[in-house]
Structure formats: C-alpha cells, structure tokens
A and B are shown apart, each in its own frame.
Chain A
Amino acid sequence: MDKVFRALADPTRRKVLELLRRGPMTAGELCDHFESARPTLSAHFSVLKEANLVETHRDGKQIIYQLKLSVLEDALLGFAGMFRLGEDAPAPNAAELEGKI
C-alpha cells in the first residue's frame, strides 16, 4: 500500500492514470501529453507499474499501458486529485525517481 500512496502522491503520475482512463495507450502516446523528458516519464511509468496500478503488454516494438485500479485505489486517486497532493513539491528527475523504487 505504501507504493500505491507514493505513486498517487505525484501529479504527473496521476495525470498518466487519468489519461489511461480513456483506454490503453502506448508509451509514446502518453509521452505526447507531457513536456517532461522521456527518461523521466519512463521512471514515472516504472513507479506506477511497481505499485501495480498499470499493466503493460508488448505489441511489436511498442509497449502498451493499461489501467489496473481497484475500487479503493480509484477512490484514492480521486481524493489525491481533489486535494492536489504533491503539486507544490518540485518535480523529481529520473534519477531521483529510480532511487525511490
């Protein structure tokens, strides 16, 4: 549960989950919605996967991400967004994110 809270505490990762509500997306499609560098986003994806909030399938050379939220995690995502958790904190870089996993 600690990994879930950590994953949901970051606004970028919450935005990824909100995007995945629309349906499965490739890593490239997700990256198009952000200005962050790809390594940083890849680290965010790893945190979400580590927390078991998304799952991935390989389709040729592409990795497709799909939402995997329980009802409780769905509710926590809503609360975290409502209270804007982590939005005041400075954005971590990829190296810092990797260190958190």
Chain B
Amino acid sequence: MIGLRNLWTPTTFVGAAVMAIAAAGWHLKPEQAPRWMIAIVAMAVIWIISTVVGELWSKTGSMKRYIAMSASLAGVILAVALGFAIVDVDRSNGHVLSARLSGILSGLVLAVIGNAGPKVTEVLKPDCFSTVEGMAVKRFAGWTFVLAGLAYALMWAFAPIQLAEDTSIPLVAGALLLALGRVLWAVRRLTHA
C-alpha cells in the first residue's frame, strides 16, 4: 500500500504546482477567474480520485503499487493539461508561459519515468531483462531518458522559445534512438553468443 502518511509529499508537490500554474494564469487572464477556480477544483478532485482508487488497488504487491502510482501520475497530467486548456494563453501575442510550463512538465515526466525504469522488475520477469545484459540495457535507457528529460525541461525553462521549439523534439528523438540502438546491440550480442 502507498500509505496515507506517504501521500503528504506528492500531495504537497501537486498542490504547489497547481497553485503556481493558477497564479500565473490568474495574472495573465484575471477576467477568467471563475474558470480558474473550476480548473483548480477539477485538478484536486482528479488527484484525490486517482489516489484513493490507487490506494484501494494496492492492497498487495508492488506491481499494483506501480499501477496505482501510474494512474495517479496520469490523473495529474490530465489535470494539468486541463489547466493549460483553460488558461487559453495566446502564443501568437507573445505569451509563451503555457508552452514553457507544458515543456517543463513533459521533460520532468520523461525524467521521472526514466528514473523508475531500471527499478521496475516485477512486470518483466522472468524474461531476458533479468539477465546481466538486460539489466545493463535498462540502466542505459534509464540514464538516457533521465538526462534527456532534464535537458528538455531546462531547455523549455531557460532557452529562447524558438531554440526550445527547434531542439526539444530532436533531443527526445535522439534519446529514443540511443535507447533503441542499445536494445538492438544487446539483442545482437545475445543472439550471436
């Protein structure tokens, strides 16, 4: 079980992120304050539902815990996406906050997924990923996605918007190709062994 005590940290993080987005949107579009209230409440409700459902699912076993955490994360992403849709920032007028925030969030999600990747073993056993070569592949892919995710987030946070738009997709595509290349190399080594 996740445990209600352990929910304080993610709840605080989500609450702070939601409030930051809300404050930014309120500053940009004060006339849409009622819509902002709905968005904030919707995010909180989605988070609570996904967390409670996850808690009910995760009575036993760590695989269920991963599913529960994934469902919670998906709920948060959907909620934040809803928030961005309601902000309705017009990028053509030079307001790039929405693009930057969504880019930072995407990069952080990629980094979080990459970080957890090498640790997930339950769903992969007892196939080739439990071998030494398989563990090396997972480690390489994990590091690649974490570094790419952090670079992606930093790019959207600090680089000029045009540079971020031009380089972010090649950055993630490059990480995917690197990971895929490592998988193919491992498969080649295993089949020729």
Listed in ascending order, the chain A residues whose CB lies under 8 Å from chain B are 22-24, 52, 55, 66-74
Contacts of B132 in A (CB 8 A): 22-23
Q: Flag if A24 contacts B114 (CB, 8 Å).
A: no
Q: Flag if B139 contacts A74 (CB, 8 Å).
A: yes
Within 8 A of A (CB), among B37-65: none
Contacts of B114 in A (CB 8 A): 71
Q: Flag if A69 contacts B130 (CB, 8 Å).
A: no
Q: State the total of A-B contacts with C-beta under 8 angstroms.
A: 37
Closest A-chain residue to B145, C-beta based? A71
Say whether, besides A24-B130, A55-B121, A70 and B135 are in contact (CB < 8 Å): no
Contacts of A69 in B (CB 8 A): 118-119, 139
Q: Flag if A74 contacts B118 (CB, 8 Å).
A: yes
Listed in ascending order, the chain B residues whose CB lies under 8 Å from chain A are 114-119, 121, 130-132, 135, 139, 142-143, 146
Q: Pick the contact of A72 from B115, B130, B135 — CB < 8 Å?
A: B115
Q: A24 to B134, alpha carbons, bound, how many Å?
A: 12
A24-B130, A66-B130 provided; 13 other pairs, C-beta below 8 A?
Answer: A22-B132, A23-B131, A52-B119, A67-B135, A68-B119, A70-B118, A71-B114, A71-B139, A71-B142, A71-B146, A72-B115, A73-B119, A74-B143
Contacts of B131 in A (CB 8 A): 23
CB of B44 to closest CB in A, whole Å: 26
Contacts of A23 in B (CB 8 A): 131-132, 135
Q: Which of B117, B119, B131 has the most CB of A within 10 A?
A: B119
Q: Pick the contact of A71 from B118, B121, B130, B135 — CB < 8 Å?
A: B118
Q: Flag if A66 contacts B115 (CB, 8 Å).
A: no
Q: Flag if A68 contacts B121 (CB, 8 Å).
A: yes
CB of A73 to closest CB in B, whole Å: 8
